[in-house]
Amino acid sequence: MTKPVSFSLVAGEASGDLLAGLLLGGLKQQWPDMHSAGIGGPRMAQHGFQAWWPYEKLAVRGYVEVLRHYREIVGIRAQLKQRLLANPPSAFIGVDAPDFNLDLERDLKAAGIPAVHFVCPSIWAWRADRVEKIRQSVDHVLCIFPFETELLAQHGIASTYVGHPLAQTIPDVIDQAAARAQLGLPSDAKVVALLPGSRSSEIQYLAKRFLLAAKTMAKRQPGLHFVLPAMPALKERIQALVQEVGGVPNLMLLEGQSHAALAACDVTLIASGTATLEAALFKRPMVIAYNMHWLSWQIMRRKKLQAWVGLPNILCQEFVVPELLQDAATPDALASEVLQWLDQPARIQHIQQRFAALHDSLRRDTPTLAAHAIEKILAR
């Protein structure tokens, strides 16, 4: 009698839970009676996933936070490893969270359990030293960007491009008027979306710069409207910063709703990260900024492998949108770059065409492609 198909998955934060939920949908189609368990969240649970631990246990960021929770996280990994070695699944699938998953994948692979990693660690941006670890740890990588498969192949790592799930969820044509009506923004105004990030450290280093840049823009171009979607947990801190800078004319502070803000705006001033890809899929011109602790910046800068930091520029392999990093990200410089977009409609039209082509290249049937890749691994 053949053993029923079972998968163990680990997702380490909300974005991983979303990706793993999509993947489980594809696996269920392939193997309707399969069993899945490990570390995850509500999106995974919708597909019958059994969470031995919730993903929140792993969702810590920054050196200090990780150190504070280090013993608990290492303990969870040891218990999970023991459980999987005692009762091996058909395959283990680590969804992002490389700091947690790669070590676990290495040990499981060594014990003969096929190890798959979903979302290629960003070796192409910062972490060249991670390539060897990936090769030792995994049998296969499921990539969300098209250029990653070739990069991994150069290092002898098997992979499959499965498309970016965001490209399926964001529509081709954005209804700006509907988004403005939903938010109560004037239909004929110029609107700038301010997205200073979703992490506490990003708010600390970027939010005030963005608000001061908005004040400068409002002085230079009266009548501008600003919309700032804030994570609910960070909204009070941002409100305090708005007061600290003496207020910003025509500023609307939202709770969440970053997609509505991107749909409604003409241009966005945005922190480097996944949100820049979302902005590109919304076909919005942008100015990318980043600022961090000076020591972290020195470390990161030495590890930087490409000329670009922003995902839209990396994916287009050229500076299609401006990046202002660290000391260059002054409020005045940020304001000037944003206003330049508003003064150049032909440049906006060109970037919208580039982003439409990018959207097209990232749109794939991710769940089915991922399930097919895993089926081939199990057939070996």
Q: Domains of the chain, with CATH numbers?
A: 6-163+364-378 (3.40.50.2000), 176-362 (3.40.50.2000)
Q: How far is CA 339 from CA 208, 220, 239, 246, 352, in A?
A: 18, 9, 24, 21, 17
Q: Annotate 92-110 with b (16+ C-beta within 10 A) or e (fewer).
A: bbbbbbbebbbbbbbbbbe
Mean local confidence (pLDDT), 254-268: 94
Alpha-carbon span 194 to 258, nearest angstrom: 10
Determine how many CB atoms are found less than 10 A away from the CB of residue 18: 19
pLDDT at 202: 74
Mean local confidence (pLDDT), 291-320: 70
pLDDT at 4: 86
**300 vs 102 pLDDT, higher one:** 102
Residue found by looking up tokens 């994916």 in the block:
315
Give the start-end residues of each E strand in the chain. 6-11, 35-40, 50-54, 91-95, 115-118, 140-143, 159-161, 191-195, 225-230, 251-255, 267-271, 286-290, 323-325
Least confident of 7-11, 190-194, 254-258, 316-320: 316-320
Mean local confidence (pLDDT), 253-282: 92
77 confidence band (pLDDT: 50, 70, 90)? very high
Closest CA to 338 of 282, 281, 288, 377: 288
Number of helices and strands in the chain (H, E): 18, 13
Closest CA to 238 of 279, 199, 189, 291: 199
pLDDT at 156: 92
pLDDT at 128: 61
- Reading the block at residue 92, the tokens are 């283990």
Q: For the segment 102-139, what is each residue's pLDDT rounded down to a tens digit?
A: 999 999 999 999 999 999 887 655 556 678 889 999 99
Q: How far is CA 374 from CA 112, 153, 309, 378, in A?
A: 15, 18, 31, 6
Most confident of 110-124, 216-230, 285-299: 216-230
Residue pair 209/238 in contact (Cβ under 8 Å)? The answer is no
pLDDT at 45: 95
pLDDT at 305: 54
Alpha-carbon span 51 to 375, nearest angstrom: 23
- Reading the block at residue 341, the tokens are 């977009």
Least confident of 11-25, 50-64, 253-267: 50-64
63 confidence band (pLDDT: 50, 70, 90)? very low
pLDDT tops 60 at residue 367 = yes
Alpha-carbon span 247 to 264, nearest angstrom: 22
pLDDT tops 70 at residue 146 = yes
Mean local confidence (pLDDT), 144-162: 91
Residue found by looking up tokens 């995902």 in the block:
311
pLDDT at 344: 95
Q: Which residues contact 293 (CB under 8 A, 6 or more apart)?
A: 201, 205
**36 vs 204 pLDDT, higher one:** 36
**85 vs 121 pLDDT, higher one:** 85
Concatenate the DSSP letters of all residues of 178-205 into one string. Answer: HHHHHHT--TTS-EEEEE--SSHHHIII
Mean local confidence (pLDDT), 326-333: 89
pLDDT at 327: 82
pLDDT at 211: 97
